[in-house]
Amino acid sequence: MGDSAHHSSLAREKREAALDEYQKGRYTVVGDLALKAVEQAIEAAASREGLHFHLNPRTAHARRTTWAKRKFPSIAADLDLVWGAYGDLGYDGLNGRRAYEAIQAMERIMNEIESETGIRLK
């Protein structure tokens, strides 16, 4: 079971990887990495409340997203955008515009969580 520091470290690593892959034009993996960075950021915040969604993999994505939208309502639309980009880029291999949107949404989400919780995500 990870704590806030562990999850925030993973979030930073995955964020850097998403940015790196975007710069290299490897757009099909940007959605994967942006989503994973966001999920780790959410886990970091949730762990401070004793919540560990990753312990139940079958329901983790849905429960994590529901909790995050309730806890941080301002990121709801961006969470939906990141999830959409994950599917579009990973399965359909869409262009750099969609990857750019995923990166921007990831950054807004991480900024909001960082601002609200004080957890260093960048």
Q: Report the number of secondary-structure helices (H) and strands (E) in the chain.
A: 5, 0
CATH code of residue 37: 1.20.120.330
How many Å apart are CA 42 and CA 57, to the nearest integer?
15
Give the number of domains in the chain. 1
Q: Tell me: the pLDDT tens digits for 42-59?
A: 999 999 999 999 899 999
What DSSP state is assigned to residue 74?
A: G
Q: Report the mean per-residue pLDDT for the chain.
A: 93
3-state SS assignment for residue 86: helix
Q: pLDDT per residue over 72-98, tens digit each? A: 999 999 999 999 998 777 667 667 888
Query: Residue 27 falls within a domain, yes or no?
Result: yes
Span 97-108, pLDDT tens digits: 889 999 999 999
Tell me if 83 is assigned to some domain. yes
Residue 122 domain-assigned?
no
List the one residue out of 46, 37, 18, 20 whose CA is nearest residue 79: 37
pLDDT tens-digit map of 8-30: 999 999 999 999 999 999 998 99
- Phi-psi domain of 120 (left: phi exceeds 0; alpha: psi -120 through 50; beta: other): beta
Amino acid code (one letter) for 97 = R
Tokens of 36: 């994973």
> pTM of the full predicted structure?
0.93
The answer, yes or no, to whether residue 119 has pLDDT greater than 60, is yes
Domain span at 111 = 4-117
Query: Is 42 inside any structural domain?
Result: yes
